[in-house]
Amino acid sequence: MLTQLLMILENKESGLSLSEISRAMNAQPSAIISMIEMLVKKGKLMEVGPDGKFCATCGSESDCNLLKARGKRYVVTSHSL
């Protein structure tokens, strides 16, 4: 399933949200989120906000109105391909 998740995101330059990934994989978000979190920790995926900026470098993640309204998106890092 990890390979499938990476393949789904591979050609999505603006990334996909958790719900979009869940639909593409035909799985519940609760089943997908732990895989996403692991891939983020391993450096295979990056979290980006709805505006395309990387959440890890912003510093305002806890106060971000865009994240509250629209959620994070996930993109494959360049060294994962």
Residue numbers of the domain that contains 75: 2-80
The average confidence (pLDDT) of the chain is 78
Name the 3-class secondary structure at 73.
strand
Number of domains making up the chain: 1
Bridging pattern class, strands 16-17 and 45-48:
unpaired
Cα(56)–Cα(54) distance, rounded to whole angstroms? 6
Please report the pLDDT score of residue 7 as a whole number.
93
Please report the pLDDT score of residue 66 as a whole number.
54
pLDDT at 35 over 90: yes
pLDDT at 78 over 60: yes
Q: Stretch 15-36: mean pLDDT, rounded?
A: 92
Please report the pLDDT score of residue 57 as a whole number.
52
The CATH number of the domain holding residue 52 is 1.10.10.10
